[in-house]
Homo-oligomer: A and B are copies of this chain.
Amino acid sequence: MGKKENMPIGMFDSGVGGLTVLKALHERMPCEDIIYLGDTARLPYGTKSPQTVSRYAVQCAAELVNRGIKLLVVACNTASAVALDALRNAYPDIPVIGVVEPGAHAACKASRNHAVAVIATESTIAGGAYQRAIHSISPDTRIIGHPCSLFVALAEEGWTDGHVPEAVARQYLEPIFNLATGAKTPVIPDTLVLGCTHFPLLVPAIKNVIDPATVIVDSAATTAEAVHGELTRLNFKRAENGYGKTRYLTTDDAARFARMGTRFLGTALAEHEVELVDL
Residues of A at the B interface (CB closer than 8 Å) are 40-43, 47-49, 52, 149-150, 152-154, 156-157, 159, 163-164, 167-168, 171, 252-253, 256
Distance of A52 Cα from B157 Cα, bound (Å): 21
A43 contacts which chain B residues (CB < 8 A)? 47
A-B pairs with the 8 shortest C-beta distances? A153-B153, A49-B253, A150-B153, A164-B167, A167-B167, A48-B252, A52-B252, A49-B252
Q: When the two chains form the complex, which single residue of B52, B156, B164 contacts A171, counting CB atoms closer than 8 Å?
A: B164
CB-nearest residue of chain B to A149:
B157
Q: When the two chains form the complex, which single residue of B41, B49, B152 contacts A52, counting CB atoms closer than 8 Å?
A: B41
Q: When the two chains form the complex, which single residue of B49, B150, B171 contacts A150, counting CB atoms closer than 8 Å?
A: B150
Distance of A168 Cα from B164 Cα, bound (Å): 6
A168 contacts which chain B residues (CB < 8 A)? 164
CB distance from A11 to the nearest CB of B (A): 21
A-B contact pairs, 22 of them (CB 8 A): A40-B47, A41-B52, A42-B42, A47-B253, A47-B256, A48-B252, A48-B253, A49-B253, A52-B252, A149-B153, A149-B156, A149-B157, A150-B150, A150-B153, A150-B159, A152-B153, A153-B153, A163-B171, A164-B167, A164-B168, A164-B171, A167-B167
